[in-house]
Structure 1
Amino acid sequence: MRKLLFIFIVLITLSCFSQNKQILYNFTSVPQSMLSNPGSDIKYNWFVGIPLLSGFSASVGSSGFSVYDLFADNGVDFNTKLRNVVFSTSRNDKVSLNEQLEIFSGGFKLGDWQKGSYFSFGMYQELDVLTYLPKDYAILALDGNQNYLGKVFDMGDLNAKGELLSVFHLGFHKNVSEKLIFGVRGKIYSSIFNISSTKNSGYFYTTQGTNSFYDQVISANVLVNTSGFLNYTDNYSGNVKSDIIKKTLLGGNLGLGVDLGLTYYPQKNIQFTASLVDIGFIKHSKEVESYRYKGFYKYVGIAPDFILGNSNDLIDEFNDAIPLDSLNVKYTTWRPVKFNSSIQYSFGDGRSSDCNCIGENENKYANSVGAQLFVMSAPRTPLMALTGYYRRQIFDSLEVKATYTIDSFSSKNIGLGLSSTIGKVNFYFLADNLLEYKDVSKANSLSFQLGLNIIFPDKNTPD
């Protein structure tokens, strides 16, 4: 039991990614910036992403420890390093995972009678994992309870969720006025696999009783919901690849979502943006199976270490008092909502007779400085990040963006983004936490994004 619990804890804490895309946000020479703000100020006649190559992103981070803390070749025993990590972190330390692959994408400006409007569409695959460090579970797995008389272990420390899904989206944005752009994007989610355990409660404690006896109490209400796995557990004879493709193409558990965004210019060189992304839900009704530990058990005995108890009678009593129930009930999950906002000041003459790679309000200025706020909903406390950035149009075909970000994972996150449009081919590469690349094992977070697009600029955009 302890070995299984230990393996589970290690596996979930080594999966650690973040969803903030601070370099891409408002980097409007890259069409994929519309995914983080459907109201972005872009000025393309139309664009098309090169299928499977237009957008890929991945990032890794942990607010509590790094790979180096566990696997450094420094002569310290691994068990000692593991204990140091467990006891130096808190239950509020979080790790998460996000990977995104764009399958296809495109967009075009509507006819002249509505030249201030834009239509975009696409599909992408996404993997999300979010977990808090289950510290009390880790202590029990490592030490048992013998040396923790009187300590109340919180069964609610188990708080994790993960999902593999595909997203079909359709977006529309409109130049409401010379100062205001508003955008909306509708989404259909198709969940391929889901696991969720976020509303657990209960406690476990051991106290010294009388006559050398110990009182040990467990009250548990732990629920793990899953969908998409059921058909593969027993005597599966189908084709996994075909099943996953079917679920990807709207054959999984379905849900709906919406993105909202705007860009506002109080002055020509001052810009304000804001967006809400993934306001949505998924209804899980196919291949659902849930596991629940719920009940109350009190044990009185001479052995203080209940976790190490190997009595068959004791195990039977525990299973009767707190049984593991398998349920097949529908459930709903909510997507993690992301809020972005930025303010930007532009300066310097950047106009060029043949510059066609950026928007009307931006191509008058060679430089921009700004700040961005990111907030993402989470089961306990929101994930937050604050970014300062500088953008520079170096050539007509090359734009760069440098960022400095403070978030839950790092206070020295320096990032750099490059966007190059040569002819009609746009290539971009974005990476953050550049200071950590000298030894990535010590990094608390890393991320990168890249892609290729074909862009047809708006020839009517004034220089």
Structure 2
Amino acid sequence: MIRLTMFFIVASCCFSFSQNKQLLYGFSEIPQSLLLNPGGKVKNDFYFGIPLLSHIHTNVGITGSTVYDLFAKDGVDFNTKLQNAVYGMDSRDFFSVNQQLEIFSGGFSFGSSYEKNQYLSFGLYQELDFITYFPKDLAVLAIEGNQNNINRPFKMSDVSVAAEVISVFHVGYNKKINEKLTFGVRGKIYSSIANINSTKNKGHFTTVNGQNNFYDHIFNLDLEARTSGLASLTDDESDSDSVVKDLTKRAFLGGNLGLGFDIGITRQLNEQWSMDASLLDVGFISHTKDIENYKIKGNYVYEGVNPIFPEIGSGQTAEDYWNEIEENFEDIFEVDTTTAKYTTWRPIKFNASLNYIFGEQEYEDCNCTRTEKSYLNRAGLQFFAMSRPKQPQLALTAYYYRRLFNGLQIKTTYTIDSYSTYNIGLGVSARLGGMNFYVMADNFLQLKNIYNAQSVSLQLGFNYIFNKNEN
């Protein structure tokens, strides 16, 4: 049982998702790039996203050991692999999931008749975000047991988990102030569908030599789990129809509400050099409805029960022994259940890039350049940072962009992040008439062995775009 438990702990902590969208960031031909920088350049007069298909995003990454490390047929005993995986990871390794689905979106330019230098965008998307850190001390305890770790405190602070499902309604404003400066801001209304938060746990568990029994187990605990939107879903009286109705209502601004904003800027340094930056999801959600919180705080000592079973028919049986342990734990650990309101802060994300364009485009029928210069290539560096419960999540990307012709653009990236130092990605945006389709994927070098891949991501979408008349 211990080995099986440890397998699931390690396997879950091997897979993690990132919210970095380095392929989409700065890809101005795709309207959804404004979600990553509301102050980015706009390349269309107006657009609308195909409902439920305009932006589908998910990615997976690996920190620590991979599935291949555990199951590869290399002659190494599985128990040895499991121990190597546990001892090779630490409490900063994590398992996280992020997924986004755009429900609807649109945008249009406006302003004076001779120059529409302002742009309004809007939409609604659903997002799932989940993160749990690897409980290193508890994993070691599960493998080694407490008999060989007398007087060693095992940290409860390793237990850290946060999960939420939300919908986000947003409206963004973008303005080209002059030829060198573009500014943008986006307001957001968050509607929490469900939330679990337990990230500030403290305390430890220690086994010492006992007086009335072989060992005394000392618990110094300060643990808390806060939840909203779950109690009503798990109610015995709720049925599938009422659950679906309730979830739909929450998705359309009927859940626990919050506010936030994004801000971004693009600065043209000279004809070929530019820089941009954005700050995303500066906001909070106030949880006031359907709340159920659990808290354990205090010092507890458990002396155990007599582990020597008398002969059958003359006393305590094995079943009695385990039942007594269960009853003792229920008596010792008093769980305080409350409905107190609480607030969660959104994980803030920061992007910045330095860009260089080159390769002037020429007329097809003469050896001359256009009056307003147009460039086919762009290269640069992008930095990404995101707040997380234990430490920030960082990434650095070098990229190359190429406009093959007006209806087809590609972008390739090389990213160093928490999961890998050799992540190569490729994105393509194509337009046929007004219809735009884009697809992007990461980590091509490791797709030949997906079980040993450090990270794999996918983004795709369909939009209908009316482009500006540009050279």
**TM-score of the two chains, using structure 2 as the length reference:** 0.89
Q: Is the 8 A contact 1:296 1:321 kept in 2?
A: no
Cα 1:436–1:11 shift into 2, 3 Å? closer
Superposed displacement of residue 30, structure 1 = 0.9
1:3-28 residue CA offsets vs partner (Å, 9 max, x unmatched): 99758746853652111001100011
Superposed displacement of residue 218, structure 1 = 1.1
Superposed displacement of residue 260, structure 1 = 0.4
Partners in 1 of 2:193 and 2:258 — Cα distance? Answer: 12
Q: What corresponds to 2:311 in structure 1?
A: none
CA RMSD of superposed structures (Å): 2.7
Q: What corresponds to 1:157 in structure 2?
A: 158
Secondary structure of residue in 1 paired with 2:25: coil
Does residue 1:391 correspond to 2:401, yes or no?
yes
Out of 350, 355, 368, the position equivalent to 1:344 is 355
The alignment covers a number of residue pairs equal to 451
Out of 310, 323, 338, the position equivalent to 1:327 is 338
Does residue 1:224 correspond to 2:238, yes or no?
no
Q: What corresponds to 1:166 in structure 2?
A: 167
The one-letter code sitting in structure 2 at the alignment partner of 1:248 is A
Secondary structure of residue in 2 paired with 1:156: coil
1:46-66 residue CA offsets vs partner (Å, 9 max, x unmatched): 011111111101100121122
Superposed displacement of residue 353, structure 1 = 8.0
Q: Is the 8 A contact 2:304 2:325 kept in 1?
A: no
Superposed displacement of residue 152, structure 1 = 1.5
Partners in 2 of 1:328 and 1:11 — Cα distance? Answer: 34
State the identity as a percent.
50
Superposed displacement of residue 271, structure 1 = 1.0
Q: What corresponds to 2:427 in structure 1?
A: 417
Cα 1:5–1:254 shift into 2, 3 Å? farther
The one-letter code sitting in structure 1 at the alignment partner of 2:226 is N
Q: What corresponds to 1:234 in structure 2?
A: 235
The one-letter code sitting in structure 1 at the alignment partner of 2:38 is P
Q: Is the 8 A contact 2:305 2:321 kept in 1?
A: no
Q: What corresponds to 2:442 in structure 1?
A: 432
Out of 266, 269, 275, the position equivalent to 1:266 is 269
Partners in 1 of 2:2 and 2:82 — Cα distance? Answer: 15
The one-letter code sitting in structure 1 at the alignment partner of 2:256 is N
1:39-438 mapped onto 2 (5 Å cutoff): 39-74=39-74, 76=76, 78-112=78-112, 115-208=116-209, 213-238=214-239, 239=241, 240-299=243-302, 316-350=327-361, 364-438=374-448
Cα 1:170–1:211 shift into 2, 3 Å? closer
Secondary structure of residue in 2 paired with 1:267: coil
Q: What corresponds to 1:451 in structure 2?
A: 461
**TM-score of the two chains, using structure 1 as the length reference:** 0.90
Gaps of 5+ in 1: 355-359
Q: Is the 8 A contact 1:62 1:96 kept in 2?
A: no
Partners in 1 of 2:434 and 2:340 — Cα distance? Answer: 51
Q: Is the 8 A contact 1:297 1:318 kept in 2?
A: no
Structure 1 stretch 229-238 or stretch 395-404: which is displaced more?
A: 229-238
The one-letter code sitting in structure 2 at the alignment partner of 1:290 is N
Partners in 2 of 1:412 and 1:203 — Cα distance? Answer: 38
The one-letter code sitting in structure 2 at the alignment partner of 1:70 is L
Partners in 1 of 2:362 and 2:112 — Cα distance? Answer: 25
Q: Is the 8 A contact 2:14 2:64 kept in 1?
A: no
Q: Is the 8 A contact 1:86 1:138 kept in 2?
A: yes
Partners in 2 of 1:446 and 1:272 — Cα distance? Answer: 28
Partners in 2 of 1:310 and 1:390 — Cα distance? Answer: 66
Partners in 2 of 1:188 and 1:5 — Cα distance? Answer: 40
Q: What corresponds to 1:13 in structure 2?
A: 13
Secondary structure of residue in 2 paired with 1:146: coil
Q: Is the 8 A contact 2:212 2:303 kept in 1?
A: no
Superposed displacement of residue 248, structure 1 = 0.6
1:113-133 residue CA offsets vs partner (Å, 9 max, x unmatched): 572110000111111011211
Partners in 2 of 1:47 and 1:285 — Cα distance? Answer: 37
Secondary structure of residue in 2 paired with 1:26: coil
Partners in 2 of 1:50 and 1:56 — Cα distance? Answer: 11
1:77-104 residue CA offsets vs partner (Å, 9 max, x unmatched): 5444333221210011122211111111
The one-letter code sitting in structure 1 at the alignment partner of 2:266 is T
Superposed displacement of residue 409, structure 1 = 0.7
Cα 1:34–1:442 shift into 2, 3 Å? same
Cα 1:383–1:266 shift into 2, 3 Å? same
Structure 1 stretch 100-109 or stretch 88-97: which is displaced more?
A: 88-97
Superposed displacement of residue 232, structure 1 = 2.4
The one-letter code sitting in structure 2 at the alignment partner of 1:263 is T
Q: What corresponds to 1:357 in structure 2?
A: none
Cα 1:151–1:302 shift into 2, 3 Å? farther
1:209-254 residue CA offsets vs partner (Å, 9 max, x unmatched): 6899544321011111111111122323342222211111111111
Cα 1:150–1:367 shift into 2, 3 Å? same
Gaps of 5+ in 2: 308-319, 366-370
Partners in 1 of 2:359 and 2:180 — Cα distance? Answer: 20
Q: What corresponds to 2:317 in structure 1?
A: none
